[in-house]
Amino acid sequence: MNPQPTLPSRGMLIYFTVCALAMIWPGALVANRIEPLVIGLPFFLFWYVAWVFALFVGLVITYCRDGAQEVDDE
């Protein structure tokens, strides 16, 4: 058994940090407007919906990379 679980790569950690910064100050400042409405949602609301999806994609990539590296200890 590996003594330590594998952590996400440096690149993915940077990606997650970007996702976090996009949802708070200062990242969210750029999206603080109503126009354009996207899929019926004001832009500020759509911004959050989109970043949640970006985070999901990042986690999928991290998971797939993990799977290639480690054999589960179960």
Partner 1 sequence: MSDSLLITTITLAYLLIVLAVGLRARHGQSSSLEGYVAGGRHMGLLVLFFILGAEIFSAFAFLGAPGWAYSKGAPALYIIAYLALAVIVWWLIAPYISRLGRRHGFLTQAEFLSACYPTRGNLLGLFIGVVSVLAMIPYLTIQIAGAGLLFEAATSGTIPFWLGSLLACGVVAAYVYASGLQGIGWTNLLQGVMMVCVAWFLGLATADQFFGGVGEMFRELQREAPEYLTMPGANGMGWGAFSTAILVSALGCVMWPHIFMKFYSANSERTLKRVFMLYPLYSYLLVPLLIIGFAGVLLLKDRPLDSPDQVLLTLVVEMADFPAWLIGVALSGALAAAMSTAANLAHTSATILVRDVGQHLPALRDMADDKALRLTRYGVVLIALAAYLLALANPGSLVALLLGAYGIVVQLLPMLLGALFWRRASRSGAFAGLAAGAALTLLFQFGVSTPFGWHAGFCGLVVNAAVFIGVSLATSSASSRSPVQALGPQA
Binding site for partner 1 (CB under 8 A): 3-5, 7-8, 16, 19-20, 23-25, 28-29, 32-34, 37, 39-42, 44-45, 48-49, 51-53, 55-56, 59-60, 62-63, 66-67, 72-74
- Give me the residue label for tokens 């919906």: 49
Q: What is the DSSP letter of 51?
A: H
Closest CA to 27 of 37, 35, 19, 36: 19
What is the C-alpha separation between 49 and 29, in angstroms, rounded?
A: 16
